[in-house]
Amino acid sequence: MPDPDVIRQIATASAISGGFLVGVSGDYGDGTTSPSMVLPAGYSFSIWTPIYAGLFSHAIYQALPAQRRDPLLRRTGYPLACAVGLSGFWVWTQDIPGLELCLIAATTAAALTAYVRAAPEQHSEAKPESTRDRWLVRIPLAMFSGWITVATVAGGAEAIIATGLRAPWPGAEAWSTAALAAAGGAASAIAWLRPISSAYAGAVAWGLAGVAVRNLPKRTRPGVTAALAGAAVALAAIASTRRR
């Protein structure tokens, strides 16, 4: 009978590799022409370079025989594999907005599940957090989850725009402002309540700063809201770190 831990290791490595290959082979179009007010500026997407550098390092680390029965990797393996694998297909479902929205929701749920499960459990784990756990598990996972938090709002808006639906009262700018405020509030709560890695707050703040840059100075409300939301997430992470 196959070892379940070996299956998990293979599934995680395959999902990270497959998600990357599927994602980079898609056509993302020209984001500068999008009417979305929650889409980050183009330079913001450069964060995928450190994200995938961390994820590939994680894939190799978790596949080592010595890590086969690691409790942390057992808790986070499948949710992370699901999140990274699904995220690669967002770009390929842009012409099917309903399916894209379902993929976005599933990816976000899986990413946040993996992030929450990455919290140390000192009573059940035989070893305390190591430098390798921090840099090869928690930081890559946190950075990916943080960016997905922002991408959920941006990708969801793009999918809704693709359906041709018009924003109801009080209008697209107001709804965009509310969505950015909600994302900032949710991310701040996560950074405060689950201070697993400051990389989560850093990725969210980076994405929201990109939204602010793309909107200001022409669209003041969503631009200022994005900037304030990013600052709130960063402050929540700093306060949580000082509390600990």
- Summarize pLDDT for 102-131 with one digit per residue, the tens: 999 999 999 999 999 999 875 555 456 689
Q: How far apart are CA 197 and CA 79, in angstroms?
A: 17
Asked if the bond preceding 97 is cis, omega within 30° of 0, the reply is no
Q: 94-130 burial string, b = 16+ CB within 10 Å, else e?
A: beebeebbebbeebbebbbbbbbbbeeeeeeeeeeee
Q: In this predicted model, what pLDDT tens digit does every residue of 34-58 receive, in sequence order?
A: 899 999 999 999 999 999 999 999 9
What is the pLDDT of the chain when averaged over all its residues? Answer: 93
Question: What pLDDT is attached to residue 84?
Answer: 97
Rounded Cα gap, residues 171 and 149, in angstroms: 23
Q: What is the pLDDT of residue 120?
A: 83
CB atoms within 10 A of CB 66: 7
pTM of the model: 0.94
**Alpha-helical segments (H) within the chain:** 4-24, 48-62, 71-87, 97-117, 131-133, 139-162, 172-193, 198-215, 220-243
